[in-house]
Chains A and B, each alone.
Chain A
Amino acid sequence: MTFHAFRTWAALTLLACLTLTGCAHVQPPVPLDKQFWDAKEPTIGVAITVVPAPVLALTGQQGMLDYAINRGVNSKLSDNVEKWQVRDLNTLPDVIVAKLQAKGYKVKRINEPVDLNAYKETSFREGYVGRDLTPVKGAYGVDRLLLVNVFATGATRSYYGFVPTSVPMAQVSGQGMVVDLADNKLLWFKPFTAVQAAQGEWDEPTYTNLSNAFYQAMDNSRQQMITPFEQ
């Protein structure tokens, strides 16, 4: 290989590495500031994204065959997880609306689940939401959007090959945000992950303790979203 070819390959490799790692922008949490509480005039729209159905996620180092075996071994658990209800998350905006209304803010419940993919993606800018949500202002007649964005619900279990390295844990994760719809600025941003182990045996025939753990994780997530608006 000539020096020129070597240099080209090295540059391409470096570029690929930079592209892959450089994209991982992480928005740090933004505390709810005084500006939010002081402004009682703007109308706050409260909404939630489409809550993903609960699934059993098998994580860890698994080959394709391992994964197929693990899926098979956990099929009953997986079926059970898929029956869990996420109604408590869908009613979360109603609770926040009630809290804000009690404090004298103008609040509007947006009943349709917000599909973030329907809004144009923007380049990363710290302190700003990664999508252009300004059309929400006109569509619903609100000035700010309080959005609960749920990423994952269900349970997770880690594996090394086909050997389980953890018991199944219930999990709910997502993020809460308040967006100023004039410029997409984040007035509040809080990621949350609630992971809860079953209290007692997890592998009973109906997975009762694990089911309870899921509803506890969901309650934990709800509390993380409600508490900032209770002060």
Chain B
Amino acid sequence: MKRSILGACALPLLMLAGCAQKPAPETGFKSQSAASYVQAHGLKVDMQLPQAFVGASTVIDAKAAQEAAESSHNLVASSGNTAGLAGLLVASLINTQMGSGSLQRDAEKVALKDSRPMADLLAGVPLQERLQQRYQQASHSAGLKQGEGQVTGRLVIEPKLMLTPDRGSFVLINQVQVQDIAGMALYRMRIEVASQPIRRCGKQCIDDGSLDLAKVTAVLDECIDESMRVLATDLMLPAPPEAAQETLRYVLDGQRVVERGYQLANNGNYWRYRNLYGAVKSVPVPFEDALTQAQLQKVYAH
């Protein structure tokens, strides 16, 4: 009887909660006129430096996460068995304060601490002017027509440097938007470029962990150049057909990355793909079992 009443009360709540899905992150968007508009009117680069330009990805030990998930599951399941629905509610509260949630909070604190040396290093550089200049130069080199005069498009870029889990390299995350003269978005994309190692002695070594400004800026410049090359190429590309979706696999900084998406044509040292959110990622390592240029052309032709 008690269970039925509790059930009757919880059912509408659960049904409502079940419908409240999390909103998806902003996906990429490209208007059909974006490429022709840029070709006709050109672009003026507007780099908008965020307050927290440097960040570090959170790292949670897989084993600890698995253990936390298992203990959370056992706690919830056993409380359900022994104390019914009331037990489940108590267990959920405990779970929020301990287990996976606690691991996430600790990882965020460590990430903040780990990003400090890089942030301090770049604090000595006039980043706004330097990055603005570099993005402009890179967009020109990538073949994007530069805007002159009054009627021109606007290329708004918001970059963020995110240190990778091993802190030996970073990912330059660019939120890019192409706007027409009226400020209407014609193209919006997240372009992520993984950097070469920033360790002073190269990839296969362990140094004292201190950073070299010249090395970091050189690597950052390379990422900016690649970001603009990706943008120039992506503006011209048609949307990939659904059938071209595949699993992309590669090893970056010793970590195996597996993501579903669409392989794009590679360029020099960089291999590119579009993920399921529409973001374009460019990594300086080849994909496993990558499609050849000829295979890619065939897939995109369908």
Which A residues are closer than 8 A to B by beta carbons?
60-61, 69, 73, 85, 88, 95, 158, 160-163, 165-166, 197, 201, 203-206, 208, 211-212, 215-216, 218-219, 223
Contacts and interface: CB of A to CB of B under 8 A. Distances in A.
B110 interface: no
Contacts of B298: none
Interface stretch (B42-50, B74-82, B187-195): B74-82
A-B complex: 6 closest residue pairs judged by Cβ atoms: A160-B80, A201-B22, A204-B24, A219-B258, A165-B76, A216-B258
Interface in B210-267: 245, 247, 249, 256, 258-260
B209 interface: no
Interface stretch (B9-17, B131-139, B155-163): B9-17
Contacts of B77: 60, 158, 160, 165
Contacts of B24: 204-206, 208
Contact of A204 (B18, B21, B260): B21
A106 B81 CA distance: 55
A215 B7 contact: no
Contacts of B22: 201, 203-204
Given A205-B24, A208-B277, A163 B80 contact: yes
12 contacts: A95-B289, A158-B77, A160-B80, A163-B10, A163-B80, A163-B85, A165-B77, A165-B80, A197-B69, A204-B24, A205-B24, A216-B258
B88 interface: yes
B23 interface: yes
| Consensus secondary structure, chain A interface | mixed
Interface residues of B, number: 29
B276 interface: yes
Interface of B: 7, 10-11, 14-15, 18, 21-25, 69, 73, 76-77, 80-81, 85, 88, 245, 247, 249, 256, 258-260, 276-277, 289
Contacts of A162: 7, 10-11, 14
B76 A212 contact: no
A208 B88 CA distance: 28
A61 B80 CA distance: 10
Given A204-B22, A205-B24, A212-B260, A69 B80 contact: no
Contacts of A205: 21, 23-24
Contacts of A61: 80-81
Which of B11, B18, B69 has most A Cβ within 10 Å? Answer: B18
A94 to B, nearest CB: 10
B171 to A, nearest CB: 15
A83 to B, nearest CB: 11
A201 B69 CA distance: 15
Given A204-B24, A206-B24, A215-B260, A163 B69 contact: no
Contacts of B21: 203-205
Contacts of A95: 289
Contacts of A201: 22
B18 A73 contact: yes
A26 to B, nearest CB: 22
B260 A160 contact: no
Given A160-B80, A162-B7, A212-B259, A73 B15 contact: yes
A166 B74 CA distance: 10
Nearest to B87: A160
A163 to B, nearest CB: 6
A73 B260 CA distance: 26
Contacts of A197: 69
B276 A163 contact: no
A173 to B, nearest CB: 16
Given A160-B77, A165-B73, A166-B76, A69 B11 contact: yes
Nearest to B69: A197
Contacts of A218: 247
Given A73-B18, A216-B258, A166 B11 contact: no
B258 A215 contact: yes
A94 B7 CA distance: 51
A192 to B, nearest CB: 16
A66 to B, nearest CB: 9
Contact of A160 (B18, B88, B258, B289): B88
Contacts of A160: 76-77, 80-81, 88
A201 B24 CA distance: 9
A201 B258 CA distance: 17
B14 A73 contact: yes
B73 to A, nearest CB: 5
Which of A158, A208, A223 has most B Cβ within 10 Å? Answer: A208
Nearest to B24: A204
